[in-house]
A and B are shown apart, each in its own frame.
Chain A
Amino acid sequence: MSYVRDLTTPINQALLAENMNLGIVLPIESRGDIRVEVFLFRVVRAYPLVKVLSTELPTINPGGIVDFNYVGSAGLGSGDDVFEIPEEYPWRIYHFGMGIKPSWIKLYRAVPSGYVSMGWARKVPTKVGDEYDYVDGSLSPFEEPTVSSESVVFKKLSFTIGLKNDSAVATRPLIRILGKSYEVTPITSKKLIDLIISGKIPCRLITVGGLVRFPYCYPPEWTGKSVVFGVNEFQNILQNIWG
């Protein structure tokens, strides 16, 4: 599905299959005139991506928080990073949602590490525990993660999470990662790119890291295969395609 506006849409309805299009949207500027760098891909192969984080997560005291850290095989910040894609897979992309149990656990994301994913335009970055920029288990439940928690990870993009226990009882949460792993090939034809950006060719465009600006890395194999859009470029494409 290209356009998914309803935040409660199950992530299953936003995942892609072979021969569908995926776009990664990265921020060059996020204040004043917006400029983005977009990588467009065709999904060549796909496979389910499923994992439950249970013993990797700590018990959190009532009202307590766990600050941002990577999801390690032995715990948050411990062991191999579950989301780290090895060097030999430059065209591998993880696309997933995160289902949370119980409903009172709040999940915060910092993608890449050190840059909190935010939608609220705040003067100071959101911290774990703030009443902003979180997804809780009622919005993205364990049994059926929703697009409110939709994320992508590729090589050289770090993915960290923070948690808050917004209840009166100590809780050890569970998080269900549900999605797909893709092998992709880049789309570099200007004609195809314009048709995708104009909406004529379907493509699932995904914002990376919320609406903040951050320095980002991507696999060196991706170099030269992106397009940069600002206000004028968007207008020109839309005018050329739609008249």
Chain B
Amino acid sequence: MRPEETIHVVKQLTIPAGATSSSEVDLVPLYGTSSQVPSNKYARVFYGLIITNPGSTTATITINIYASDGTTKESSMDLIVGASSTLLVSKNIDSPILVVPAGRYVKAVASVPSAPSADVTITLLMNAYDV
């Protein structure tokens, strides 16, 4: 896999003022149309992750993996990012942090322990490739 052939997911998760979580969003690759790992592939391999939390409280970003029906949740993981912080996970292209099998959907939602007084937009950037 060549570096220029990796795909990127760039998503913003906005927690509205007065709420404690964002809506769940599909992690659609840049220039892609769906968060579903193509069914004719083996898996989507994520090897890099950056999460920026500009808010004044710790935020939890939950990555959810759904089955090919799009609604059955198969797995879920919480990533915690401190207030006004950036979480950076930078690995080699051959050292994945998450492997999602073909057909699955990958989505994310952000949440905070207490409702902010203004919108908080958390930025999520992920590097991946399909094999």
Partners in one complex: yes
Does A167 touch B at the CB level, under 8 Å? yes
Residue of B nearest to A103 (CB): B5
Cβ B4 vs Cβ A102 within 8 A: yes
Query: Which of A101, A103, A166, A168 has a CB less than 8 Å from the CB of B34?
Result: A168
Does A83 touch B at the CB level, under 8 Å? no
Cβ B130 vs Cβ A62 within 8 A: no
Does A229 touch B at the CB level, under 8 Å? no
Query: Which of B1, B4, B30, B130 has a CB less than 8 Å from the CB of A167?
Result: B130
Cβ B130 vs Cβ A103 within 8 A: no
Q: Which chain B positions have C-beta within 8 A of A171?
A: 31
Cβ B40 vs Cβ A169 within 8 A: no
Cβ B2 vs Cβ A62 within 8 A: no
Q: Which chain A positions have C-beta within 8 A of B7?
A: 167-169
Query: Which of A61, A168, A170 has a CB less than 8 Å from the CB of B37?
Result: A168
Does B70 touch A at the CB level, under 8 Å? no
Chain B contact surface mostly:
loop
Does A234 touch B at the CB level, under 8 Å? no
Q: Which chain A positions have C-beta within 8 A of B30?
A: 169
Cβ A103 vs Cβ B37 within 8 A: no
A9–B29 alpha-carbon span in the complex (Å): 34
A104–B32 alpha-carbon span in the complex (Å): 14
A81–B34 alpha-carbon span in the complex (Å): 36
Interface size class of B (residues with CB under 8 A): 10 to 19
Cβ A62 vs Cβ B32 within 8 A: yes
Cβ B5 vs Cβ A168 within 8 A: no
Cβ A168 vs Cβ B32 within 8 A: yes
Query: Which of A101, A103, A170 has a CB less than 8 Å from the CB of B32?
Result: A170
Chain B, range 31-82, C-beta contacts under 8 Å to A: 31-34, 36-38, 40
Per-residue A-contact encoding for B14-40, CB less than 8 Å = 1, 0 else: 000000000000000111111011101
Residue of A nearest to B37 (CB): A168
Query: Which of B1, B4, B5, B33 has a CB less than 8 Å from the CB of A62?
Result: B33
Cβ A166 vs Cβ B29 within 8 A: no
Cβ B1 vs Cβ A168 within 8 A: no
A-B pairs with lowest CB-CB distance, top 4 = A170-B31, A102-B5, A169-B31, A169-B32
In addition to A103-B5, A168-B38, A169-B30, 7 A-B residue pairs with Cβ atoms within 8 Å of each other are A62-B33, A62-B34, A102-B4, A104-B130, A166-B38, A168-B7, A170-B31
- The residues of A with any CB-CB pair to B shorter than 8 Å are 61-63, 101-104, 131, 166-171
8 contacts between A and B (CB under 8 A): A61-B33, A101-B4, A101-B5, A166-B40, A167-B7, A168-B37, A169-B31, A171-B31
